[in-house]
Structure 1
Amino acid sequence: MPHRFYRRRWDETRGDEFDGWGHSDWYFEVGDDGWPVRQVEVYDTGRVLRYGPDHQEDRYGGLGEASLYDSGDDWSDFEIAEVEFERVWDADGE
């Protein structure tokens, strides 16, 4: 099964020293098991974090460590086209 792509808005702040970044949109590429392969976090202040096979974590966070499908949430409403994910993945930013 091919990878799937999702975008989900989080209307909560981080609750840590980077709380001032604000709310965020999260983009995921997941395998057929729901485990993130690549992930992009875009914060309201413009901060962008990217995680994937070549960069799995840093001082700000890291690639998801659980299957999205194990959350019990229905992710079908958040599915996006691969081209939308790639646009965000390849965009200029940090």
Structure 2
Amino acid sequence: MSTLQKVKKYYKWSWDVSLGGKYDEWGTSTYFMEIDCNLYARRQMEIYENGNVLFYDKNHSADDYGMLCDKKLDDKNIEEFEISEAEFEQVWHSKTPINK
């Protein structure tokens, strides 16, 4: 089923490369994204190996650490990483971001 047939979809994947530079010590990360029907991120979480957490959404789309993904995603390339809305919301409501 295409993302265009649903209002929102949720994804989770691991990023095995650190940010580099002054944030290199944060380690690798796990990304969570809520994607809208136009294939753009609405909400995004980044959870790092050292425990740091970053949140981005329409009210807080960028800061000194990074930004909400502004590129249209291809749902065929991320389909295997789909998670439930419940899993996304559980993480969203249980983590405390350092950038908000």
Aligned-partner Cα distance in 1 for 2:25–2:36: 32
Give yes or no for the alignment of 1:78 onto 2:76: no
Q: Which amino acid aligns with 1:56?
A: S
Q: RMSD of aligned C-alpha atoms?
A: 1.4
Greater helix content? 2
- Percent identical among aligned pairs is 36
Please list, as runs of the form range in 1=range in 2, the aligned pairs for 1:44-59 lying within 5 A after superposition: 44-59=49-64
Superimposed CA distance per residue, residues 10-43 of structure 1 (whole angstroms, 9 cap, x where no aligned partner): 0011122111100000000001221100000000
Q: Which residue of 1 aligns with 2:35?
A: 30
Structure 1 unpaired stretches of 5+: none
Checking the alignment, whether the CA contact within 8 Å between 1:33 and 1:69 is kept in structure 2 is no
How many residues align? The count is 92
Instruction: Give the one of 12, 18, 21 matched to 1:7.
Output: 12
Superimposed CA distance per residue, residues 44-84 of structure 1 (whole angstroms, 9 cap, x where no aligned partner): 100000000111111101100101218xx621110000011
Checking the alignment, whether the CA contact within 8 Å between 2:11 and 2:81 is kept in structure 1 is yes
TM-score w.r.t. structure 2 length?
A: 0.85
SS in 1 for 2:46: strand
Q: Which amino acid aligns with 1:22?
A: G
* Segments of 4+ moved more than 6 angstroms: none
Checking the alignment, whether the CA contact within 8 Å between 2:46 and 2:53 is kept in structure 1 is yes
Checking the alignment, whether the CA contact within 8 Å between 1:10 and 1:26 is kept in structure 2 is yes
TM-score w.r.t. structure 1 length?
A: 0.91
